[in-house]
């Protein structure tokens, strides 16, 4: 798959996101992906919260490769790997000490807020993504 855009977001694993084993809770990586996604889109001048359309997630996945512990410094690489007619796919690589700790993806669909149906990504937003 051809990479269109890449962005790196750095943060630390928060204590509240860990479980009894001291590792990140399996569901919490999506919070970090979302934080990286928001900053990626902000860097492009692309707003996913709008009055006319929204971008619900229709597919998410995450694979863990290394333990992520409280206060670990991580870098999340965000790659925009597909811009379709109505959807966008982002791929994520989470690095810890230069090693891949987690990978994942998110697919979002552009949806009309009134009809709740998929619609083409508005041209002004599409131009910022390409």
Better-predicted residue by pLDDT, 50 or 54: 54
User: What's the CA dihedral at 24, 30, 33, 37 to 10 degrees?
Assistant: -150
Q: In what order do the strands lie in the sheet with 99-109?
A: 5-12, 73-83, 87-96, 99-109, 57-64
| pLDDT for 4 | 53
Domains of the chain, with CATH numbers?
5-123 (3.10.129.10)
Q: Is the pLDDT of residue 54 over 50?
A: yes
| Interval 79-105: pLDDT, tens | 999 999 999 999 999 999 999 999 999
CB 47 within 8 A of CB 66: no
Q: What is the pTM for the complete model shown?
A: 0.90
Separation of alpha carbons 35 and 54, rounded Å: 17
Residue with tokens 């790196």: 8
Helix H or strand E encompassing 90: strand 87-96
């Amino acid at each position: 798959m051809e990479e269109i855009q890449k962005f790196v977001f750095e943060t630390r694993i928060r204590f509240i996101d860990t479980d009894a084993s001291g590792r990140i809770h399996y569901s919490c990586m999506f919070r970090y992906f979302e934080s990286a996604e928001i900053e990626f889109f902000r860097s492009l001048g692309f707003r996913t919260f709008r009055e006319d359309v929204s971008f619900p997630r229709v597919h998410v996945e995450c694979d863990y490769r290394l333990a992520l512990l409280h206060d670990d410094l991580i870098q999340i690489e965000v790659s925009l790997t597909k811009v379709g007619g109505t959807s966008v796919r982002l791929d994520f690589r989470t690095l810890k000490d230069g090693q891949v700790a987690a990978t994942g993806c998110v697919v979002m669909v552009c949806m009309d807020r009134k009809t709740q149906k998929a619609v083409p990504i508005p041209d002004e937003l599409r131009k910022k993504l390409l």
